[in-house]
């Protein structure tokens, strides 16, 4: 039977508690999706801070042994399928796994399940990559690039996606009606536009009134505030 100690990553980042979920993360929009989900579920977890800058923890052999894609977040559930420990990466896969395991924030069957997954995939394939490029060209290294076309393309695409979200939120408190992993995946990215990237004017965030009301509801959830703080300090 596999044990937590069989995962090489546990040698560099030892579990503090052997029987709880081990989360490898950083306070970025993809990272906090998982800590927010765990806080919403009220599930115990150990969080290990994985630097993606200097030092580049995510390029160490121990980290790559869990996530060959060298990105955060990743996790190990010591009580995975069949009671065996299981490693998992890609935030959308992790949210889906946790939603199914605890039967919360993801309907188990019917149209509501597929619509929740549809909006989760929309976030994973659209909002995350496009908003991330807004960050790169507006706030980070791409800022120095003089050609305005890539920057403008991502502003336009982010604005388009916010319009899609705004229309979906007309008459709904949450993306698919009930609070779900679609909201948990999308909220941190919309919050990041203003909190990290300071690009709200460029993407016209103020124009999307339903999105802003939804973001207020999301930020008011105590679990969102707690999850947003993880990992709290270098550990």
User: Rounded CA gap, 43 and 35, in Å?
Assistant: 10
Instruction: Report d(CA 225, CA 182) in Å as an integer.
Output: 17
SS3 (DSSP) at 105: coil
Q: Does 71 bind ligand GSH (CB under 6 A)?
A: yes
Strand pairing partners for 100? none
Burial readout 53-91 (b: 16 or more C-beta within 10 A, e: otherwise): eeeebbebeebeebbeebbbbbbbbbebeeeebebbbbb
How many residues touch ligand GSH (CB under 6 A)? 13
Q: Verify binding: residue 138, ligand GSH, rule CB under 6 A.
A: no
Query: Shortest approach of ligand GSH to residue 113 CB, angstroms?
Result: 20
C-alpha to C-alpha distances, 101 to 41, 97, 200, nearest whole angstrom? 11, 6, 36
User: Looking at beta carbons only, is 91 or 180 nearer to ligand GSH?
Assistant: 91
CB of 122 to ligand GSH, least distance (A): 13
Phi/psi at 34 (nearest 5 deg)?
Answer: -75, -40
Among 86-94, 113-121, 163-171, 204-212, which window interacts with ligand GSH (CB under 6 A)? 86-94
- Contact letters for ligand GSH, residues 88-117 (x by CB under 6 A): --xxx-------------------------
Kindly state whether residue 41 participates in binding ligand GSH, applying the rule CB under 6 A. no
State yes or no: residue 30 binds ligand GSH (CB under 6 A): yes
Among 7, 15, 22, 28, binds ligand GSH (CB under 6 A): 28
Minimum distance of ligand GSH from residue 128's CB (angstroms): 6
- Residue number with CB closer to ligand GSH (33 or 151): 33
Window contacting ligand GSH (CB under 6 A); options: 13-21, 22-30, 75-83, 200-208 = 22-30
Q: Which window, 12-20, 26-34, 113-121, 221-229, contacts ligand GSH (CB under 6 A)?
A: 26-34
CB 143 within 8 A of CB 222: no
State the number of CA atoms in the 13 A half-sphere of 66 facing the CB: 33
Separation between Cα atoms, residue 90 and residue 109, nearest integer Å: 22
3-state secondary structure of 63: helix
Is 72 a residue that touches ligand GSH (CB under 6 A)? yes
Interacting residues with ligand GSH (CB under 6 A): 28-31, 52, 58, 71-73, 90-92, 128
């Amino acid at each position: 039977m596999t044990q937590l100690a069989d995962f090489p990553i546990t040698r560099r980042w030892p579990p503090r508690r052997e029987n709880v979920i081990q989360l490898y993360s950083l306070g970025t929009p993809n990272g906090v999706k998982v800590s927010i989900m765990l806080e919403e579920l009220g599930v115990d977890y150990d969080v290990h801070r994985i630097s993606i800058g200097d030092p580049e923890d995510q390029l160490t052999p121990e980290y790559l042994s869990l996530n060959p894609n060298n990105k955060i977040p990743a996790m190990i559930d010591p009580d995975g399928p069949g009671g065996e420990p299981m490693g998992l990466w890609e935030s959308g896969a992790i949210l889906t796994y946790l939603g199914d395991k605890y039967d919360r924030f993801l309907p188990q069957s019917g149209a509501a399940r597929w619509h929740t997954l549809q909006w989760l995939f929309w976030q994973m394939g659209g909002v995350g990559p496009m908003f991330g490029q807004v960050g790169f060209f507006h706030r980070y290294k791409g800022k120095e690039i003089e050609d305005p076309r890539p920057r403008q393309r991502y502003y336009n695409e982010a604005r388009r996606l916010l319009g899609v979200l705004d229309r979906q939120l007309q008459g709904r408190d949450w993306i698919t009606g009930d609070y779900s992993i679609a909201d948990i995946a999308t909220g941190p990215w919309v919050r990041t536009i203003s909190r990290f990237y300071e690009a709200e004017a460029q993407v016209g965030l103020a124009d999307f009134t339903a999105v802003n009301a939804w973001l207020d509801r999301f930020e008011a959830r105590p679990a969102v505030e707690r999850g947003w703080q993880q990992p709290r300090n270098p550990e």
